[in-house]
Each structure stands twice: as structure tokens, then as C-alpha cells.
Chain A
Amino acid sequence: MKHCLLPFLLICLCHPANAQPGKIYLNPKSPATENQSRFVDSVRFVVLEPQEGVTIGQWDNLEITRSYFLVNQYSNKCVFLYNKQGGFVKKISYKKLGDDFYPGYDKKTETLRFYGANKNYTLTPKDEIKIELDFNNPRNQKYYKKYTVDLTDPDLEIKKSTPTEYDVNNIIYLNNDYYYRSKAVASKLYKDSAGYELKIYKNNKLVKQYFPYNQINEPKYLYDQGYIAARASQDPETMFITRPYCDTIYKITGDSLYPAFQIVMPLENALPASFFTNPFKNKAEWDNFRQNNNWMYRQVYQFEETPAYFYFSVGFLYNYGIYIYDKKRQIAYQNSKIKADSTTFHINVLSGNNIVRKDGFFYRLLTPDAIRESFKPVAGKPAPEAIEAIANKKSNAAVIAVFTMKN
């Protein structure tokens, strides 16, 4: 944590206009419970058109593009595209690409990007660094492959593309033509020890870098890669930034970064100071530390702010939690403890880790089984026909619950 403090102080000094970061008090095993209707508002259900051979499961992921609901089913390596009314558009199978490919939606180019290791090769983390360091060598370009689907093209075909240095370096777009390198790793393969967790680029030029670390032997990254996560905020010019092993959530506007919130947790969830200074002897020792201290804090990943609540996910060393934080009451709720009630016919739209937010709305993909398990008719309030049909097993459609958070 000490390593967080110095940049944190510097940043505070550089941004006198910003007040001290707001505190988010989190008890990771919080027993607090509430009815879902306390948080959720204006729920509506978009029924995804059933299609033969398409069964949506609980591990499938939802993404919202400009024109489509995109459901990624990694277990079958295919993507299902639906229009915003739920009409089935297309199934895109990426089975042939290899096991390493996972679709990523690029909102800047409105494409679906499949980038991963060529299935003809097996790469270790060391290999990946070696290739990254010498990617311009033509011999190294065969190790990765890239395919794209142009979501603006009605054909929606997978097309081969050429991996670039951006892909290899895990470049992610911010706002206003800024982009950043998200990966933080330590290795003896790096010649220069000066590394930065967050490097911000614009027009192929490095404009700013934050959070220095020793790229050769930083203890926390010796056996474990870290990634900076960026999420949209309510302000289109600003994004949230979170870092591994740091309890501060930053905001970035342009290339300017400042601390916005701080997660405050019980002592038992805090990493000891030695974690940041004393390197583990080997990977086994790191793994044992991780498993023996499974509720110690690692990183906030998804972070969504609404006027009254924060919705966020937290990775611990060997656990994972999703929470809603009531700003006014200063209470964090585990999403799993929030009870669905009659307003949604007892369908839980907050549980699970498959909630995405776009343009102020939250979207939750619900499988037909999830609806059947939880749906209960409410006296005097007719349920949507499509939902009743699913509950009565007359339909096997999946549903997207669209809602906002109460103010």
C-alpha cells in the first residue's frame, strides 16, 4: 500500500481543485441485505428471439454494441448477435480460430476483435514478453493472429487482420484519442528497470506515464501479471481507472489522473507491507501466499457510479465479490444477498457477474433456467407474456433485463 501513497500524494498536490477521495467502506463478507426494488428502477425485459441450436447459459457474457446485443458463448466459441429489439441477427462461430481467442468489442471502430495466440503455437508468459519486446521482427509476427468483424457491415463475417504492436501491448482506448497500455509485469527479460503501470499515448506518442515500478524485479509482479482497468463514468470525458493492489479508484480526463475514491476495508483484508517489498522466492511461494490469504484485497475491476450507488466488483487474492454501495447509508451490500421482490416478479437482475452498463442503463442477461427458478406471479400485476411463456416452459428464450439504478 505504501507504493500507492507517494503517487497518491503527488497527484493530490497536482490537483488542488479536487477534494480528498471519497471513502467507500467495504466489508467483503457484508451480511447486509435488502430488497432489489430498493436499488433497481424501471426494469424492462427484452426477450431474445429463440433460435434453433442456440441455448444461452449462465456463463455466457453480454456486450452492448451500437446496434446489437452481443452474447458471447465461450463454451461453444460462438457469438450471437441480436438487434436492440431482441431479434436474432446472426451466429458467428469462432471455434476454428483456436482456444486463445475471445471476442473484444472496440467501440471506437465498432468492430469485434479476436486477438490471440496462433493455435499452432504454445506460448509461455516468457515467450509473450520476448515477442512483445521484439514484435517488429517478422519472425515474431506469426505467433499472434487477429480477426475482426465489422459490426457496421451487414455481412458480419470474420475477416483476417494483421496484429499490430497495439494488440501485443494490450492497448485500450480512453477518450479523446488517448489510449493506454494496460499490462504490468516484471521480468528479467526487460533491459530497463523503469516501468510504468499506466502509459498513456496519443497519436503514437507517449504523453504521460503513471505509477512507476521496477520492471525487472517488482515483488508484486514477479509471478503475476497485473492489468489496469478502465471503465466509463457518468461524464463522457472522464473514465475510472483501477490498479492491481491499490485501493484507490482514479479518474482520468484526457491524460490527467486524480484519485476519486478509496476503498476502506477491515485490516484482515489488507495486504501486509512486506508484500510490496519482499519478493517471493518462487511461484509456489506466491501461490501459497495467495491461497492462504484468499480474502486479501487485489483490485477493483468493474466500477459503475450512479447518483445514489456504486456498483463494483472486487478481486481478492483467491476470491471475488460484487457489491452495491449505498452512498447515503455508507453500506456495501453483497449482490448475492440482495433479494428479488414482486416488482420484478421475483426475478433477480442484480445477482451474478454479468451486468454491463451503457448510456446510463444496466443490462443483465438472464437465462431461461434462471427465470424459471425465480419467477413468481404477482397478484394483480400481469407478467409480460414472454416471461410467463418462459416460466411455463412454452418458450426457451433468454431475456435481457434493462434497468436503471434509483436516484
Chain B
Amino acid sequence: MRSILFAVFLLLASTVTYGQTGKLTGLVTDSVSNTPLESATVTIFRKDSGMVTYKLTDKNGNYVLENLPTADSLLLDISYVGYRSHRQTLRITRSKTDTANAALSIGFDEKDNVTVTAVIPVKMNGDTLEINPAAFKMKPDAVAEELLTQVPGVVVWSDGSITVNGRLVKNLLVDGKQFMGSSDPKIATQNLPKTAIDKIQLYQEYDRSKIGQQQKTAQDSVLTMNIKLKEESKKGYFGKITAGYGTDDRYEGNLSYQIYDKKRSLGIGGGINNINKNIGNLQELFQNNTYRTYNPNLDYVGQFGSNGLNRNHSIGAVYTQDFNKVSNSRQNNRITLNYNKSGTEAFITNLNLQNRTALDNPQFIKDEGIQNSTGNKHVFGVDYAKTSSYNDNLQINGNVELNQDQRNSKQFTEVKDSLGQLQSTNDVHSVSSRRSDAESLSFRYGKSDWQDPIRNINISLSGSNNSSASERDVTSVFHSFTEAGKDTSYNRHYKDDNSRMNITGTIDYGGFKRLLLGRYNLFGIDLKLSQWFSYNKETNQSHVSDFDSTIQQLVMNNRLTNSNTKELLEYSPFLSATKSFFKWSDQLSRSINFHAIIFDDLKAEKNSSSIAERNLNRSFQFLRYEGSVNYSYSKRRKYRLYTNLNYKKNFEFASIDQLYTITDDINAYTIRYGNPYLKNRINHMLSLYGNFSTENEKSLYSVNGSLNGNYRKTLDPITDSIINDNSGKRFYYYTNADKSFNTNLNYNFNIARKLGKSNLQLMYNGSQNYSVLPNYIDGLYTNSRNNSINNNFTLQFSLRSLLVLNMGESFQNYRSKQTASGLSSFKNTSTTTRLGATLNFPASFTFSSTFNITNSTGVDKKMLLWNAFATYRFMKQQAEVKLSAMDILKQYQNISNSANFDGTTTRITNGLQQYFLLTFSYYPRKFGKTTLKQKATERVW
């Protein structure tokens, strides 16, 4: 597969359009002085007003336009700020160089009553790159994102992210403000038509989350895209209303509707479906129901990989009110209110087949289950943000969440030894219901001013309260085929009431150095004193009773019935010191920054319980430290590099539930015991981060990549000693091992190449994880050495807006090796090949298809999933009919294979099967008085 990908990449990269083309050169001058005009815009249009190409004149007023079509007559438009434009029709001679000089005179084009600046496609205004949509002739329903794909230096990646000269756009604003309460680009760029946009600006903005940070680095700025709407389009609405019905009674309905004006916006969204499509998150719903067609999200469809057959519904709204009129992002005074109600009715059948390691005899476990569940969730949220500059920040956030779940499940487990002899079975039936509510409130305030350092402070406070009440009836029948006397049978009722309250706060005082040392500079080392505190109170009441079949009544289980209250007070003062070094010149800038923190962790825990040994009061003190080095290097207009190395040490203590576990043996395969002698554990953590991106606007290539690595060594880690009892039961005992290790690496590399208005991009991401986890299995000490590798490639070729081809390959590998002899080792490999295509032809039609092939060890047959879609837009592109053919080959099976240090598991569940769905969508759209068509003034001949 890799060789195929490489060959296709080479093939596409070498694509050159051979055609009948010619060349045009010329000189643009001032008509009075005859002096050449630099940066005059020379644009060639086709007869249908479509822009062929454009260039800015050089310092001497010269221009050269190449690869011009010779077949048609063309319009040459030469314009310059403050001058009357020069327009002439011409026909280019094949294989020759034609010349067209122009002498412009000062004044305005009265005929159009517009200044000629309107057609300059891209220009730098100070530090801001400005894109003028009017200069790009595109189809009437083109959205901002489609426009961006045509701009030099801008790459819209296949995952929806946008980079400009290699840097990721992290913040999107519309008229200087968040759009629809979100900073994700998709809602704006995939909905707003280019005809509604005055200009798109790109610039670096200070990252407000870094307020109070003592040393500012290049990483403290974020690339921001600001879409400036035309004055008449500052009020409008857009959305998508979809209804569909298909075979097997599959149905889907979605609503996404957003309305906005200069100071307010309201978004309403919701949906209902039985195709496992996730609609619970309102922002995701908005992001996935956008107007764009040229590269539709082919993954936002019925999810064949999901477990079970689920019916989902949701309805919600988000309202944003701006209290100030200014259109910059420094000054904010905004409240956002949101509400969302979502729910799922799930029906899942599953069969799990596990090959599990045990001393000398790997066990074979078969789990069969069936589960019905319903869940409903209500979420209310309020966000308030007020800022008056980049140096202050006030945010208040409140959330209330209400949940209600009901679940009915049956599970039958069989355990066999390596010879296939049945050891035990467990039959569990559970009916449960749970109600919970969670309330949270957070407050953040930050202020920094170098002119008044004594007042530099950052405060963050948050409080939360959770409570839940649940009831559960469980019958569990365990039968041992090896020790008859160990059979158990329970019919148990659980009633739990839990509540948890938490208050956490951090106060960073940046004025500490000034307060302590006055004007003394301390060799340029910055000092900050911070305080972190947390108070946590948990109350759990558990009433457990067993059904006595003789008296036909529930009898309280005194061993399991308990009440516990835990209060934990934590306080950590910490002192941080930072020293930075900078160097810059014409071509480069670099900085290195050293940061060290020392913490004193003070903790006091009070436990009150109905179980005597759990009445435990403890206190701890840990002195710990952290250090980091940041290095950034930027070569102007070439590339930039950022690296960070961080070391951290911390301490953890065993929880009361690990020390004095309340042992419930209703699940015969997970019977847990505590260990009051557990030691505190020490973690040493080292992390490395690096990213690299090119930023050469002249290059056809855009490259970025990052590497993130973590290493953790734990001394005295808490681990399990697992005893597989002769009866077939499995017991877990907490214990300490000497040390454990974990290393992981995540990396990605992306490269894109512009091919005229087409684009080729390769995205790669991968991860590796290696861990050494000590544990005991049947009394035998072993180190599980686990190695997992994950690699994903995606290659996408976009031929203008006509054709988008995707090809992807995912590769996962897991290996687990036990160091103790007699214990089994495991490995598992799976690969998925993904193919996708979208064709936007003929006009108003879109045809797309995806094809996935999955191979997995342990699963003999390849899993194939072929989906295809046909879409037609009509009623002035505001209505759409779509036919979805899902699992055309009818060969998809919900089988997955996984592995961990216990063993490998093959899971088979019910899920979606082949279906065909016909959906009708309507896109209500209006952007002020702007129609969806190109303005007549843009057709200049």
C-alpha cells in the first residue's frame, strides 16, 4: 500500500498541464510623469468575468503574466490606488510574448463609482495580510473556505485546519469578535459566502491566556484570521434543515440555524436519528452542518464502527450578546448563554472473546451480553468575558448539568483453561437507574502592566458541586466447575447517594519581585509567587441489601452498607524563577528561556466512615520542583522552530479506597482487596516538545511538523497482584512494585504543494508508546513490556473545486511481553486503508464515495465498507437532495480486536447494516441585502 501511495504522490506531483498558452508583458507608468508604478495590479479576466491570473508590477512598473490561454479573448485590467484603471480586451498569441503597456492617470473610475483597490487580490497592510474576495471569481455559492484554497500561502488541510505560510490559524474572528460563541474557523469559513465578505485579514495576536507570564516568547502569539463583513452583510442568517428516511426504517433529521447582527448572535441546533450519528454537542453540530459542497465531510455520516444500534436526539441553542460596539479583539464585553438537551436510546449486543494470561495456562474467556439503555442530559451554560486590552482578562463561567440514565443489561461469562476445560461461569443481570446533577462556577481574572508591576496578578477560582443518586439491582450467579463449594449466587440491591464539592484556586502574584526587592533587578531573573489551594469534600452513602429468598425480603448487607465522608485540604505555595535570553538580527530571531519552580505541597485528609478502619486522618508534606527550557528560532521568511524540555517531579499518596477497599464479590472476576501498607509513590516526568513550520510565502510548499515525547518513571508504583483462584474467581490485591516506566512519542508531519489552483497534501501522524508495568500474576512477579505503534497517512489531491481525492492508511501494532517465564505474550496488528473521492460535476451535482478496508490479526476476513453519496442542489442552491448508499457491499461487521498486557480481546457487537437513505435539506441563507450571485459590478465587460 505504501508503495502505491508513493507512486500516486509522485504521479500527482509531476502533473503538468500542457496546453495552448502564451505570455504577456508590459510596463505600467504614471501618465503625467512617466514614472513607473510599483505594485499596480494587473489582472486577466475571462469573458465570463472569471479571473485567470493576476500579478503586481515590480519596482520598475514591469509585469510578466505567463501560461495565459490563447483560445479566448481576454480582458486586461490594470489598476492602481488613486488612478483610473486601464482596461483592454486582447487575444494572446500562442508561443509568443505579447506586450501591453499602460499609462494611468490620477482619478477615480466614475463609471463604476468604485476605486480600483477593490480588485487587488492580496496585499500586506503593515503586519496584516489582507485578502480581497472581490478579486476572486468563483461560483455563486462559494464560501470563504473555498476562496482561501485559492490564496497563495494558505492551505486548507483535509482535516479542516487552516495554515498560512505554515502557521496554524488558531483563532478566527468575524469583525474582531468570536463568531457564534466559537473560535473554531469552520462555522464562519464554511458558511459565509465570499460575496458577503469585505476582506479577510491575517495577523499575529497576543495570546491572552499568557497574561502574567513573565517572559514573552514567539509562542505567545497566535495566528488570527479576521473576516470583515461588508457593511450590508453585518446582519444575516444561515443554516441547514435536513430530513431523511431510508431502508430498514433508518431516519435522520438535523437542524442548524444561526442568525446574527453586529452585536448579537443566536444559533439553534438539534437532531434525531437512528444511524449512530453523534449529535449531542451543539458546536460540533454547527461545524458539521455547513454550506460548503466542494469538499464535504464524508465522515459525518452514520457510524458503522459504533457499538449497537442507537437512537440519538438533541436540541439546543447558543446566544451571544456583545455589549460593546468596537470591532477589535482587544476590547470584549460579551455574554454567551447556551442550553442543550441530548439523549440516547441504545441497544447493544456484544460477544467478547479474550485470551488472557495466567500462570502456565492462558485462560479463554467468552463474554456474551445484551444491553438496553436510555440516557438524557440537560446542559446550561453561561460565559461572561470582559477585556479592555491584551493585558487584562476577566472570565466567568457557569455550568449546570443534569443527567438521567437507565440501564438494563445481561452478561454471561465463561472461563476455560488452556485445554478448553470449562472452569467457571458467571451470569449477571443488572437493572440500574441514576440521576445526577453537576454545577460549576469558575472565575478568572488577570492583569499585567510593566509600568505598575506591583499590581500584576492572576487569580483563578473555581467551585463545583456534584450529586448523584442511583439504584441498582444485580443478580449474579457464579458457578465453579473446579471447586464446587465456591459457587455463589447473589440478588443484591444497591442504593447510592454521592455528593462532591470542590473549591480550587490559584493566585499568581507577578508583583512579588517588585515587592520583595523593589527596583533591584536580580540579574534579570523574574520571580513569581503563587498559591494553589483546593478543598474537596466527598460524601458517599451506600445502602446494600440482599434478597433473602426464604423470607422473600431484602435484608441489609452490613458489610457493604457504609457511609463515608472524605475531606481533603491541599495548599501549595510555589515560587518560580525565569531567565530569558534573546538575540535578533535582520534575518533571524532566537530566544532561550529557563524556568524553575519549587513547590511545597501540604495536604491534610480527614476520613469519617461507618467502617472503623476507614476513619483515618492523614497529613503530608512534599517538597518538589519543576524546570523547563524553551528555545525558539525563527529565520525570517524561511522557517521557525520551537522546542521545549520540561522536567517535573511529584508525589502521590494512596487513596482511602486503595488502602481499605470495601470488597464486593458480586463480580466474581473482579474482586478487589485493599492494602493499608501502600507506600507513597514518586513520579519523575520528562517531556519534550518541538514544532517546525516553513513560512516562505513564495514557496509552493507548505510544511509543518511536531514531536511530543514524554517519559515517566514511577518509584513505588501501586500495582495489582492478580490471583486466579482455583475456583475460577479472580482477585485483585493492591501492592507496591519497585518502579515502572512509560514512554510515549507523538509526531506529525504535513506537507502541501500548490499546483496552480489545485492542491496536493500529505498528512502523517503517528504515536509510539512503550511501558514497563510491574505486577504479580498468581504470585509470580512479572514486568509487562508493552509497545504500541500507531501510524496514519492521508493523501489528498484537490483539482480546483472540481475533484477531491483522498487516500489514507492506518497501521496499528501492539505487542506485550511478560518477563516472567510461563506467562504468555501477545501481539495484535490491524491496518485500515481508506479511499475517498468527491466530484463536483456537473454544476449543482456532487458525487462522493468512501471505501474502507480493514485487516486485523485474529479476524480472518477483511472488513469492507463502501459508502456512496449523490447530492443535487437546486432552488438557487438553497435546497439539496441527497442519496446515501451505506455499506453497498453488505459486508461490514462490527468486529474489533484489541490487546493489552492482560491479553487480546476480539469484540463483536451489533451495529449498522446496509441501508439507503434519501435526505432533503434546505439552507435558509441571507446576508443582509447580499444575494448569492456575484455583483454585477464585478463583470466589467
| Residues of chain A at the chain B interface (Cβ within 8 Å) | 31, 33-35, 38, 55, 57-59, 75-76, 119-127, 143, 282-285, 287-288, 291-292, 319, 337, 339-340, 346, 348, 367, 369, 374
Contact = CB atoms under 8 A, between A and B. Distances in A.
A31 B83 contact: yes
Contacts of A75: 583-586
B113 interface: no
A337 B83 CA distance: 14
A34 B524 CA distance: 49
Nearest to A125: B451
Between A35, A124, A374, the greatest number of chain B beta carbons within 10 A of the residue's beta carbon is seen for A124
Interface string B300-324: 0000000000000000000000000
A75 B583 CA distance: 7
B891 interface: no
Given A33-B35, A122-B519, A127-B519, 18 more contacts: A33-B30, A33-B37, A35-B36, A55-B585, A75-B586, A119-B521, A120-B520, A121-B519, A122-B520, A124-B450, A124-B451, A124-B453, A126-B451, A282-B388, A288-B389, A339-B60, A339-B61, A369-B586
Given A119-B521, A126-B451, A283-B449, A340 B35 contact: no
Given A33-B30, A59-B586, A319-B126, A123 B519 contact: yes
B38 A121 contact: no
Interface in B426-470: 449-453
B263 interface: no
A336 to B, nearest CB: 9
Interface in B443-500: 449-453
A233 B93 CA distance: 58
Nearest to A34: B35
B322 to A, nearest CB: 15
A125 B451 CA distance: 6
B328 interface: yes
Contacts of A35: 33, 35-36
Interface residues of B, number: 38
A374 B38 CA distance: 14
B36 A143 contact: no
B756 interface: no
Contact of B451 (A38, A55, A283, A348): A283
Contact of B392 (A125, A126, A284): A284
A361 B600 CA distance: 66
B38 A337 contact: yes
A124 B82 CA distance: 45
B81 A31 contact: yes
B331 interface: yes
A123 B518 CA distance: 9
A122 B456 CA distance: 15
Interface string B15-53: 000000000000000100101111000000000000000
B59 interface: yes
Contacts of A291: 328, 330
Contact of A31 (B80, B452, B587): B80
Contacts of A348: 59
B391 interface: yes
A76 B582 CA distance: 11
A287 B389 contact: yes
Between A75, A123, A337, A346, the greatest number of chain B beta carbons within 10 A of the residue's beta carbon is seen for A75
Nearest to B522: A120
Interface string B840-869: 000000000000000000000000000000
Nearest to B454: A124
A248 to B, nearest CB: 28
B326 interface: yes
Contacts of A288: 326, 328, 330-331, 388-389
B451 A346 contact: no
Between A76, A120, A123, A374, the greatest number of chain B beta carbons within 10 A of the residue's beta carbon is seen for A120
Interface in B51-92: 59-61, 80-83
A63 B521 CA distance: 32
Nearest to A73: B585
A11 to B, nearest CB: 35
Nearest to B519: A121
A284 B59 contact: no
Between A58, A76, A121, the greatest number of chain B beta carbons within 10 A of the residue's beta carbon is seen for A121
Which are the 7 A-B pairs with shortest beta-carbon distances? A57-B586, A31-B82, A284-B389, A284-B388, A121-B519, A75-B585, A35-B35
9 contacts: A33-B30, A58-B586, A75-B584, A75-B585, A122-B520, A288-B388, A291-B328, A339-B60, A369-B586
B283 to A, nearest CB: 30
